[in-house]
Amino acid sequence: MEKRLFTYVTLALLVWGILGSATAGYYLTQYTTYRNEYKNLLGDLNVLSNALGNFSAVMNTISLRANILVSYGNGTRTWFNDTALPIGSTAFTAILAISNVKYKDYGGTLGILVTSVNGVGSPDDFTHGWFFWYEATENSTWVPASSSCANYILHRGDTIAFSYESSSPWPTSPS
């Protein structure tokens, strides 16, 4: 009986040793493969970086950064500071980049009217709406847009706001 028990224990330890070694070998192979892929990718990135020069400088020539306030009209205000956008972006493309937006496009000079941001607002509500504002850089005051947010071209460092407000009385700044 003892000999049989010893045989089973020895056999179990042998199987455990073989399976453990096979598993360790598998993971060593995977590690080596992924390490080599990482080194190759890092090398390619360095070649690309050298070809482009300073990547950050290249990105700064084709993009801008703006600050965007979304005020939901109930005291909830969310800032999206230093948001990267392509050169030539409008206030409308900025709000599209950071939120789930519904809108009506009236075409021509009337442009686009934002009707809902992240589920707040309705195209059938004529007492409230999404107002677009930009901050005047010379005196840091909010200025209501004179046209559609799709017509306002952003510049580097601009600060804009979309605010859900009652249209009666007409709002004087984002809430």
- How many C-beta atoms lie closer than 10 Å to residue 130's C-beta? 24
How many C-alpha atoms does 107 have within 13 Å on its Cβ side? 0
Gap between the Cα atoms of 93 and 96, Å rounded: 5
- How many C-beta atoms lie closer than 10 Å to residue 128's C-beta? 15
What percent of the chain shows pLDDT beyond 70? 93
Mean pLDDT on 62-91: 93
Position 55 pLDDT exceeds 80: no
At 164, is the secondary structure helix, strand, or coil?
strand
Taking the model in full, what pTM does it have? 0.66
Torsion sign over Cα 174, 164, 172, 175: negative
Query: What's the one-letter identity of residue 77?
Result: R
Mean pLDDT on 139-158: 91
Phi, psi of 58 (to 5 degrees): -65, -45
The pLDDT value recorded for residue 41 is 83
- For the chain, the domains span 2-53, 64-166
Position 93 pLDDT exceeds 80: yes
- Please give the CATH topology (third level) of the domain spanning 64-166: Ferric Hydroxamate Uptake Protein; Chain A, domain 1 (2.170.130)
The pLDDT value recorded for residue 112 is 92
